[in-house]
C-alpha cells in the first residue's frame, strides 16, 4: 500500500454533556427528505455525534454541501461528502427512495447525484454513531454505505480495501505484498476504535503504521484520519517527508507541494509549502499548489543581448529540487555553476554543493528546504522583473536611465528652438529610427514566441535529426505529418516521439501553431504531454513524450482481444480527458478528430488523447464556432455536413462511436468496402439494432468477462447511443458522460439516435 499524503488524528477538542436534542434511533424511512435552506434540521445519529444533511458554506451563504459532520464540535468538521458533487444552490433536495437510494435533485427535479449503483430495493436508511450512513434491505443487509465511498477522511471502524496500483513512485510504502507468498498479502487498511491504523494481511497478521499504540478510544475522543494538513498530529507517516523524498527516475508528479514550490517542516514537524523568490502561487487560494515564475524565459531572447544583461540570480540556501536535473558538472566551482546556468536558456535553477553543479529546468518537482543539504540554489530571474521580496516602493533610477532622460530633454530643447520645417524633419527622422529599431527587434523573435506553454523546450532541427537517427524509425503517420521515435542524449530514459510536418504551407503552419499553443496550456493525466517544438526555417516539428504501448487502434483491434476491465477503464480515461478539454480549460478546446488512432496508451495502458492539430479553440464566452469539415470518416458528427455551428458536441459524437468500438472491439466501418457482413457494416447501426432487440451479447460475442458484467455492458451501450444522437442538444456533456460511465449519474433509456434520417 502506498500513499502520497499524511495521515493525522484529531483529538477531542470539546467535551460536551449528553443534554442534546432528543434523538430517534437513527432510522431514516423511505420518502424522508431534506432541503438546502438555512433552517433545515439535518438527520442525526442516535447520540447526536454526527449529522447528515446540507451544510452552508461560510464564504457563500447561498451555497450548500451535502455532507456528514461532527455535530457537537463548534466548527462542525466535515468527515464525508460526495466527492464529485459541486457546492449546491439553495433549494436542492435530498430524498431517500426505494429504487435509487439517496437521490440529490435540483429545483427542477433533475437528478444531480444518487446511490443508484445498488442492486436491491432499499427498505430504510440508518445513520449510526460511527458516522456511517447505511442503506439496508428489508432483511437488514447493508447494500450501500458512506464508509465504502470515502473522500478525504477515515473514521474509527472504517476499512479500506485494496483498490488499484498507483504508478507514481511512493516515498512511503508498507511493503506488505509478499511476492513469494501472495496469499499472505495485505488486503485491508483498518482504522480501529482505539485510534490504531494498520494493514491486515490475509493471515490476520497486522502491520501497524505507527510505532506505539495510541490508546485513544473513540468512546472518549473524536478521532479522524485525514488526507489534509489540519489537526494536531499524534503520529504521521513518514516521520519526515523531506528526508524521505529522494531523486530518481520513478519520482513523477510535483511532490508534496505543487510544481516550482518548496516544501519544509516547521518546529512542530508540520508541512509548509512556499514559493521561492521570483515565483508566486498559481492559485492564491491554494497554499499547497504550484508556483508560477515572474517571467517566461525564451531561448530567442538570448539573441537580443548578452545573458549578463538580461538575467541575474536570487541565492537560496539549503534548497533543492532533486528530480529536475538535466545536466551535472563535476568538479565545478560556484562561479562556474552560476555562469553555466546564466548562459543556458533552458536552465531555470542551478544547485551548487560539494564542488558539483546541477542544472535544472521547469517544471521543478519535489522542492524541499533542509539544513542537511548544505547547498546553494541560484534561481534565475530577468532583470527588471525583480522578485517580490526584493521589490521596493520607489526604486532609485540607475545611471543609464538618467542618461537616457537627459538625452530626451536635450531633444526637446532643440525642437523648441528650431523652425517648424526642421521640427518636422527631426520628428520624422526620430519616428523612422524608432520604427526600424522596433521592426528589427520584432523580426528577431519567431512567431512561435506567443506559445503559452512556458515549460516547452525549443529544439533545433539538428538536435531532432540526431535524436531520431535521421528520422529513421517511423511510429505512425497522420493527416499533417509522420511521427518518429527518438532519444535525447541527456539521461537514460529520454525516449521521445517527434512529429514532423510533411508540408509547409501557410495552413500547415497555422495548424502547427495551434497544436503547440493548445497542448502547451493543458495538463491532465489523460492527455499526451508536449515536451517541446522546433520552428526553424521551413522545419516544423513537435516533440512529445513517448508512450510505449502505441495507439488504441493497435491494441483494440489486435489479437488477443483486450480484457473487458481494461477496455472500460480506457473508455473512462478518454471521457475524463475530453471533459477536461471541454469544461476545465480556460480556453475551451474542441479536439475535432477523436478516433482510436489518436488515443495513445502509456506503460500502464492508461488512455492519453493526442493529436491536437485539428483542435478548435473557443473563448470562455463562446459556445460554438463555424469551420470547414474536419475529422475522420466514421467518427464525424452530422452537423459537420449541415453548415451549422460546431460545438463541443462533435467530440461527444465521436466519443460515442469510439465507445462502441471499445465495447465490441470492431471498427466503426468494418467490412463496408468489402460489401459488409450481414448488417454489421456500420457499427452504430448494428449497436442500435442489438440494443432494440435485446441481443447485446452479440456485441461482445465470446467475451466471458463482459457477459458476466451485463449491467455495465448495457450501461456503456446506452451511453454510447446517447452520445451519437443526431440532435446535438440531446447528447450529454463529456462531464456527464464520465459520471454516467462511473455509475454516479443514472443512465436512462436513449431514444432512436437518428430520427431525422432514413436508415436502410
Long-range pairs of 340-347 with CB within 8 A, sequence gap ≥ 24: 341/313, 341/378, 341/380, 342/307, 342/308, 342/311, 342/313, 342/380, 343/307, 345/297, 345/298, 345/299, 345/301, 345/302, 345/458, 346/299, 346/457, 347/380
Count CB-CB contacts under 10 A for residue 592. Answer: 25
Please report which helix (H) or strand (E) contains residue 742, including its range: helix 734-742
Give SS3 for 18: coil
Task: Determine the Cα–Cα distance for residues 37 and 349; give it in Å rounded to an integer.
Answer: 52
Q: Are 513 and 555 spatial neighbours (Cβ–Cβ below 8 Å)?
A: no
Taking Cα atoms as reference points, which of 106, 102, 103 lies closest to residue 134? 102
Give SS3 for 310: helix
Task: Determine the Cα–Cα distance for residues 466 and 472; give it in Å rounded to an integer.
Answer: 10
Task: Determine the Cα–Cα distance for residues 559 and 483; give it in Å rounded to an integer.
Answer: 24
| 287 annotated ligand binder | no
Task: Determine the Cα–Cα distance for residues 371 and 366; give it in Å rounded to an integer.
Answer: 16
Look at strands 457-458 and 530-536 and give their pairing.
parallel
Cell numbers for 171: 516515498
Task: Determine the Cα–Cα distance for residues 289 and 749; give it in Å rounded to an integer.
Answer: 42
Buried b (16+ CB within 10 A) or exposed e, 659-674: bbbbbbbbbbbbebee
Provide CB contacts within 8 A for 154, sequence distance 6+.
160, 191, 197, 224, 225, 226
Taking Cα atoms as reference points, which of 713, 588, 714, 570 lies closest to residue 655? 570
How distant, in Å, are the alpha carbons of 401, 405, 416, 433, 602 from that of 412?
Answer: 17, 11, 6, 17, 65
Prior bond of 573 cis (ω within 30°): no
Phi-psi region of 642 (alpha: psi -120 to 50; beta: other; left: phi over 0): alpha
**Residue 286 known to be catalytic:** no
Taking Cα atoms as reference points, which of 97, 121, 118 lies closest to residue 30? 97
Cβ burial of 164 (10 Å; 0-12, 13-18, 19+) is: exposed
Q: Are 109 and 52 spatial neighbours (Cβ–Cβ below 8 Å)?
A: no
Give SS3 for 458: strand
Distance of CA 284 to the CA centre of its chain: 18
User: Which of these is catalytic: 593, 602, 611, 651?
Assistant: 593
The dihedrals phi and psi of 107, each to the nearest 5 degrees, come to -65, -20
Q: Which residues form the catalytic set?
A: 593
Which residues are known binding-site members?
Answer: 500
Annotated binding site for ATP: 500
Amino acid at each position: 500500500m502506498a500513499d502520497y499524503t499524511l495521515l493525522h488524528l484529531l483529538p477531542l477538542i470539546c467535551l460536551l454533556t449528553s443534554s442534546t436534542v432528543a434523538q430517534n434511533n437513527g432510522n431514516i424511512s423511505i420518502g424522508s427528505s431534506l432541503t438546502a435552506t438555512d433552517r433545515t434540521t439535518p438527520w442525526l445519529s442516535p447520540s447526536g455525534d454526527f449529522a447528515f444533511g446540507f451544510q452552508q458554506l461560510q464564504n457563500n451563504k447561498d451555497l450548500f454541501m451535502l455532507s456528514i459532520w461532527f455535530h457537537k464540535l463548534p466548527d462542525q468538521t466535515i468527515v464525508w461528502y460526495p466527492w464529485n458533487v459541486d457546492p449546491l444552490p439553495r433549494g436542492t433536495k435530498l430524498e431517500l427512495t426505494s429504487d435509487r437510494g439517496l437521490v440529490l435533485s435540483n429545483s427542477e427535479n433533475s437528478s444531480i447525484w444518487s446511490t443508484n449503483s445498488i442492486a436491491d430495493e432499499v427498505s430504510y436508511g440508518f445513520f449510526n454513531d460511527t458516522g456511517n450512513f447505511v442503506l439496508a434491505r428489508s432483511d437488514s443487509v447493508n447494500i450501500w454505505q458512506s464508509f465504502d465511498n470515502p473522500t478525504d477522511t477515515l473514521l474509527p471502524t472504517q476499512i479500506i480495501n485494496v483498490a488499484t496500483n498507483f504508478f507514481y513512485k511512493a516515498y512511503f510504502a508498507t511493503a506488505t505484498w509478499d511476492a513469494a507468498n501472495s496469499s499472505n498479502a495485505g488486503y485491508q487498511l483498518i482504522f480501529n476504535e482505539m485510534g490504531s491504523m494498520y494493514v491486515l494481511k490475509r493471515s490476520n497478521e497486522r502491520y501497524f503504521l505507527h510505532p506505539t499504540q495510541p490508546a485513544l478510544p473513540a468512546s472518549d475522543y473524536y478521532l479522524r484520519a485525514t488526507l489534509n494538513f489540519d489537526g494536531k498530529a499524534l503520529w504521521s507517516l513518514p516521520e519526515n517527508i523531506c528526508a524521505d523524498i529522494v531523486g530518481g527516475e520513478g519520482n513523477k508528479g510535483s511532490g508534496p507541494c505543487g510544481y516550482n514550490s518548496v516544501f519544509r517542516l516547521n518546529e512542530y514537524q508540520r508541512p509548509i509549502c512556499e514559493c521561492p523568490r521570483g515565483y508566486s502561487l498559481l492559485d492564491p487560494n491554494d497554499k499547497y499548489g504550484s508556483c508560477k515564475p515572474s517571467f517566461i524565459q525564451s531561448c530567442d531572447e538570448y539573441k537580443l543581448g548578452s545573458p549578463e544583461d538580461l538575467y541575474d540570480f536570487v541565492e537560496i540556501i539549503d534548497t533543492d529540487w532533486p528530480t529536475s536535473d538535466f545536466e551535472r558538472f563535476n568538479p565545478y566551482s560556484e562561479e562556474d555553476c552560476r555562469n553555466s546556468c546564466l548562459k543556458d536558456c533552458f536552465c531555470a535553477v542551478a544547485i551548487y554543493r560539494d564542488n558539483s553543479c546541477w542544472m535544472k529546468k521547469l517544471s521543478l518537482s519535489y522542492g524541499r528546504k533542509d539544513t542537511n543539504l548544505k547547498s546553494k540554489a541560484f534561481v534565475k530571474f530577468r532583470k527588471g522583473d525583480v522578485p517580490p521580496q526584493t521589490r521596493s516602493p520607489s526604486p532609485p533610477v540607475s545611471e543609464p536611465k538618467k542618461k537616457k532622460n537627459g538625452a530626451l530633454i536635450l531633444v526637446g530643447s532643440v525642437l523648441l528652438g528650431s523652425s517648424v520645417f526642421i521640427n518636422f524633419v527631426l520628428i520624422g527622422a526620430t519616428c523612422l529610427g524608432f520604427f526600424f529599431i522596433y521592426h528589427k527587434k520584432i523580426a528577431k523573435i519567431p512567431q512561435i514566441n506567443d506559445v503559452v506553454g512556458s515549460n516547452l523546450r525549443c529544439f533545433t532541427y539538428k538536435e531532432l535529426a540526431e535524436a531520431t537517427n535521421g528520422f529513421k524509425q517511423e511510429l505512425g503517420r497522420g493527416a499533417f505529418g509522420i511521427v518518429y521515435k527518438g532519444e535525447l542524449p541527456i539521461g537514460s530514459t529520454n525516449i521521445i516521439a517527434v512529429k514532423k510536418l510533411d508540408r509547409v504551407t501557410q495552413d500547415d503552419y497555422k495548424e502547427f501553431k495551434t497544436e503547440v499553443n493548445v497542448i502547451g496550456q493543458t495538463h491532465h493525466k489523460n492527455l499526451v504531454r508536449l515536451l517541446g517544438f522546433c520552428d526553424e526555417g521551413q522545419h516544423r516539428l513537435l516533440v512529445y513524450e513517448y508512450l510505449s504501448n502505441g495507439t488504441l487502434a493497435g491494441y483494440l483491434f489486435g489479437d488477443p482481444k483486450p480484457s473487458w476491465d481494461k477496455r472500460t477503464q480506457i473508455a473512462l480515461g478518454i471521457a475524463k480527458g475530453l471533459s477536461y478539454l471541454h469544461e476545465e480549460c480556460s480556453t475551451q478546446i474542441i479536439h475535432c478528430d477523436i478516433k482510436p488512432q489518436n488515443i495513445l496508451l502509456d506503460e500502464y495502458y492508461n488512455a492519453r488523447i493526442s493529436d491536437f492539430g485539428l483542435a478548435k479553440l473557443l473563448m470562455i464566452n463562446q459556445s460554438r464556432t463555424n469551420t470547414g469539415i474536419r475529422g475522420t470518416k466514421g467518427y464525424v458528427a452530422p452537423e459537420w455536413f449541415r453548415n451549422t455551428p460546431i460545438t463541443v458536441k462533435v467530440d461527444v459524437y465521436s466519443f460515442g462511436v469510439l465507445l462502441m468500438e471499445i465495447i465490441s472491439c470492431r471498427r466503426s466501418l468494418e467490412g463496408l468496402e468489402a460489401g459488409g457482413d450481414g448488417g454489421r457494416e456500420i457499427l452504430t447501426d448494428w449497436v442500435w439494432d442489438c440494443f432494440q432487440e435485446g441481443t447485446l451479447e452479440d456485441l461482445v460475442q465470446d467475451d466471458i468477462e463482459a457477459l458476466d458484467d451485463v449491467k455495465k455492458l448495457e450501461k456503456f451501450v446506452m451511453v454510447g447511443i446517447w452520445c451519437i444522437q443526431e440532435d446535438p442538444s440531446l447528447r450529454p456533456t463529456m462531464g456527464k458522460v464520465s459520471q454516467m460511465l462511473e455509475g454516479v449519474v443514472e443512465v436512462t433509456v436513449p431514444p432512436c439516435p437518428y430520427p431525422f434520417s432514413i436508415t436502410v
